[in-house]
Chains A and B, each alone.
Chain A
Amino acid sequence: AQSVTQLDSQVPVFEEAPVELRCNYSSSVSVYLFWYVQYPNQGLQLLLKYLSGSTLVKGINGFEAEFNKSQTSFHLRKPSVHISDTAEYFCAVTGNTPLVFGKGTRLSVIA
């Protein structure tokens, strides 16, 4: 079985500052890892994914994440955030099973 831990429930950050949203996973099999974003009153949108290959994955809206197998982490980063990045971010994992989500991190960008 897989599980995901998102270490921060809320992250406030000033506009144009860098941000890192942390995610650790647990799995006994090889996994695929994802970050999804949810804007208020909307569904989830895929931000980026790690399936195989390069451990540094680039996604939409300037986000990137690094897969670290030894630390079982998949932290999400952005060098400079915008107000429009304010949303809930979910880390998710699958190992040939339905997607398992973390509890989410609410990113609040402050002007």
Chain B
Amino acid sequence: NAGVMQNPRHLVRRRGQEARLRCSPMKGHSHVYWYRQLPEEGLKFMVYLQKENIIDESGMPKERFSAEFPKEGPSILRIQQVVRGDSAAYFCASSPPEKRNTGELFFGEGSRLTVL
């Protein structure tokens, strides 16, 4: 059973470009969470999605950031018009339906975004 797969592992963008980060949850997991880790900081919750639904986006910046988890395919975190402050590691985690909101998450290895 493959783990949570994130790609790309490393992404470099210039200011103003778009960044797209993809996450494929573990097989059988229908809940996906995105977290952002800034240097010397813990992980900050961004968004929680089910297939075709955003359950909780209270941690998402109001502008430039969006997330989706379509019926088919991976979840995507999209950052438009990136700025240097967006440089961070973005982690995706998944959980099976019966463990949603219990904190038992399975994490991917992260996508490290660098904005030049």
Contact = CB atoms under 8 A, between A and B. Distances in A.
Interface residues of A, number: 27
What secondary structure prevails in chain A residues at the interface with B? strand
Nearest to A102: B42
Interface residues of B, number: 24
B3 to A, nearest CB: 8
A99 to B, nearest CB: 5
Contact of A44 (B56, B59, B102, B107): B107
A65 B40 CA distance: 24
Interface string B28-63: 000001010000111111001000000010010000
Interface of B: 4, 33, 35, 40-45, 48, 56, 59, 91, 93, 101-110
Closest 3 CB pairs of A and B: A43-B107, A94-B103, A101-B42
